[in-house]
Each structure stands twice: as C-alpha cells, then as structure tokens.
Amino acid sequence: MGTYISKADTSVALLYLSVTAFFGGTVFYKARKKKMEKANTFVCGLLLLSLEILCFAMLRSYAGLLLFSGACLISYICLPVRSMLPVDNKAVLITGSDSGIGHALAKHLDNLGFVVFAGVLNKEGPGAEALKRSCSQRLSVLQLDITNPTQIREAYLAVHPLSWLQCGLWGIVNNAGVLGFLADGELLPMSIYRQCMDVNFFGAVEVSKTFLPLLRKSQGRLVNMSSMAGGVPMPRLAAYSASKAALSMFSGVMRQELSKWGIKVAVVHPSGFRTCRYLTFQLQEKHLMENLMPDVKTDYGEDYILALKNFLLHMPSFCGSDLSPLLDDVLDALLAKSPHGLYTPGKNAYLALCIFCYFPLWFYDFFIGKSLCVKILPRALRTKVQPSPGPDDILPRAGRLV
C-alpha cells in the first residue's frame, strides 16, 4: 500500500518551507551585510536543515513546526556577529586620495582613528588642501603619482620609519585609477589602453611590491580597488575593464601567495558610484577623433562617436551617490578577523557577477545590453530611413535596425 499524504501534511510542509525561506533570506541578507561569519552561517544552516527534516518526518504536526520555528529564532539570535579588530591607530596608505572614493575613504578612516597616509597626484592641489583642512593631525598627505617609481620610493621612505606606531603599516588601499574615454574598443587609441594599464594595473602592482615588506612585519591587509567591469565584460569599457581584470587576477594570486605571511588580500568590485571620474575624462574625445583610421571613422560616423560623449555625460545619473556601502566594505577588508576575498558593493554589482557566472553567455549579453546599450547604431549599420541622432539618443536601451 502506497504512502498516503494528507492535506494536513501538505499544509504543514508548505509552512515548513515558508519558515525555511524566510529564515534563509533573513540570514543571507545579514551575511551579505557582513554582520555574520559565513562559516558559522553555513554550519548553522546545515544543522537547521537536518532538524527540519527530522521534525517533519517524526512530528508531522504543528508541534514540530513550532519546534523548528523556535530553533530558527534562537539560532538567528545566537549566531555570532563578525569579529572586528580594534583600530588602535593602525596606519593605512591610500592612493588616489585627491578626489572621489580615495578622498572620501581618507576622511572616513581618519574619523575612525586610523593613521592615514593619503597619496595624491598633486600635493598642492585642492583635494590635498581639503584633506589638510578637514582631517586630524594623524593624516599625512604624500605626493604619490603611482606611475612614477621615484615618487613611490619617496613615499616608502616617508612611511617606513613608523617606530612610534605599535603595528607599523597595517594596510594598503590601491585606489588610484583612471577611466579613460567610453567608446567601442576598436575606436580607442592605444594611448588610452596604455594609460589604463599603467595606472590601474602596473601602478598598483608597483605600490604593492614596494610596501609589502612593511605588511609582512605587521601581517596586515592589502586591498585593491578593482571594478564591477573587472569581473564581468561591459560594452565601451575595453581598456578600463582589461586593466581592472588584470588587477583582480593579481589580487587573487597574491591572496594565495601572501597567506603564508599572515597577510590578508581583498579585491573590491564596486558598481558605478558618482565620482568626478565621469566628468574629467570627456576631454579625450578630440584625441580619439584625431587617431581614428579613415575607414573606421567612416564606418562608425562622427555622430555615433559624439553620442558616446553624451553617454559619458549621462553616466552619473545611473550611478549611486551614497559611498557608504563601499566605505563599509573597505573597512571590513581592513579590520575583519576573517575578511572576504571579494567585495561587491553597490547596485547590481553582485547580481551582474552571478548572472555572468551561472547563466548562459547569451543571457548575460542580453541583460547587459538592455542596461547599457545606446539607441544609435554606427553609420554603416543604419538604413537610409533612420533619422539623424539627436543629443538625447543615448538612453540605456537596446539599439535596433529601423
């Protein structure tokens, strides 16, 4: 005789699933906010899953459901939060502190009690002066062009004599970076590819190699600021994405190699945040136009290239203005006893990575195309009936033949 499942059993089973989904979603959200240790969360989840099966199998009633719900509640309350190290005047070097993320991060860590060495491209510039005015005496501004080996060495000599600090140099945050002009990879001149690699990759590598002897002594942290575009392919960011992907891979290898020295390495893949980068690199348009091959210029058309400039100008409207998720992640990477190897702060950064990793590529291409494609097509792909593009033809929707 087959096993008979009553309607009551079905109702109880659905309630079990509802409790499990609610509890799992709540714990996942809390873990994503870095308030729980992932290892403890995983072990707790396995134990509760076993208890759920046991309760349903032996107590197919609301009594078992109440027992399981109570166990979930107690587990949620008792799960240990993430352990953080004290600040204790820990010293951190931040590159690219003139403006944007680096500037905000230098102020944030100074307010928390860190000893901050803020590397800037121009020590006499407005960004450096703002840091001097608004921050404490613990913050020092260093002239640091990360593409200049001499300035990197001088910064090392300025940071090295830290005998007055208990732990020496605790952290390096490689934040300095350039975006370049947003355009199809075929349109970008080689100078932009080289500039992105020099700043975003080679500069970060040289800073890391120079200061790592100090991190070995403190068993500190190396934090590299990559990008969502360094983990997933995105249109019109070929030079930037390639350089950030190189930095992400470098970070992964260094995480493995430096673990034996007690150094923790983390890479941050933020989504778009509203910084001055999106406004300062539009001047490269003229350089791009002057370096195009005649046939490439003809096939794409000047109106298509000018529309890319408008796309760049509209980028800030699609970016978040609240930097706190990013600042919180960097702080976690610096102070958590068990920091994550990868952080994805910002809107859709984690979602895009999941879609790229776990879905077919055609689906990811469709997803990112709907998000970032411009309306206008290159001249050679347009039909004669398509009207000339206007200044507003840069909305984020898929292009199509008309």
**Whether residues 212 and 338 fall in one domain:** yes
- Annotated catalytic, 240? yes
- Tell me what pLDDT residue 57 has: 63
How far is the C-alpha of 400 from the C-alpha of 402, rounded, in Å? 6
Whether 324 is covered by a domain: the verdict is yes
* 177 and 112 co-located in one domain: yes
Q: Are 108 and 100 in contact (CB under 8 A)?
A: no
Q: Is residue 101 part of a domain?
A: yes
402 residues of the chain, pLDDT tens digit each: 444 455 566 776 677 677 777 766 776 666 655 555 555 565 666 666 666 666 666 655 666 667 767 777 776 666 666 788 999 889 999 999 998 999 999 999 999 999 999 999 999 999 999 999 999 999 999 999 999 999 999 999 999 876 455 668 999 999 999 988 888 889 898 989 999 999 999 999 999 999 999 999 999 999 999 999 899 998 889 999 999 999 999 999 999 999 999 999 999 999 876 665 544 444 566 677 777 888 888 888 888 877 777 666 666 555 667 788 899 999 999 999 989 999 999 888 888 888 888 889 998 888 887 777 666 788 888 754 455 555 455 444 434 333
- Domain residue limits at 172: 91-352
Active site residue: 16, 156, 240, 350, which one? 240
Of the residues 78, 102, 126, which one is the last residue of a structural domain?
A: 78
Domain of 158: which CATH number? 3.40.50.720
Question: In sequence order, which residues have a C-beta less than 8 Å from that of residue 58 and are 6 or more positions away?
Answer: 64
Q: Are residues 41 and 152 in the same domain?
A: no
Position 358 in a domain: no
The crossing angle, in degrees rounded to 10, of helices 100-112 and 324-335 is 60
Report pLDDT for 43. Answer: 60
- Number of structural domains in the chain: 2
Q: Looking at the structure, tell me whether residues 67 and 145 fall in a common domain.
A: no
Q: Concatenated DSSP letters for 30-76? A: HHHTT-S-HHHHHHHHHHHHHHHHHHHHH--SHHHHHHHHHHHHHHH
The pair of three-digit structure tokens given for residue 157, joined into one six-digit string: 């000599």
The CA distance from 171 to 218, in Å, is 9
Shared domain check, 269 and 151: yes
Distance CA 255, CA 241 (A): 21
Do 243 and 319 have their domain in common?
A: yes
Q: What is the C-alpha separation between 54 and 41, in angstroms, rounded? A: 20
Helix (H) or strand (E) holding 158: helix 149-159
Same domain, 146 and 233: yes
164 and 128 housed in the same domain: yes
Please tell me the predicted confidence (pLDDT) of residue 117: 96
Residue 200 lies in a domain: yes
Alpha carbon separation from 183 to 30, 78, 186, 253, 398 (Å, rounded): 39, 51, 8, 30, 16
Q: Which of 28, 43, 78 is the last residue of a domain?
A: 78
Domain for residue 246, yes or no?
yes
Contact predicate 378/300, CB 8 Å: yes
95 and 74 in one domain?
A: no
Place of tokens 């290898």: 253
DSSP 302-347: HHHHHHHHHHHHHGGGGSB---HHHHHHHHHHHHBSS--SEE--ST
Residue 35: the pLDDT is 55
Distance CA 348, CA 252 (A): 22
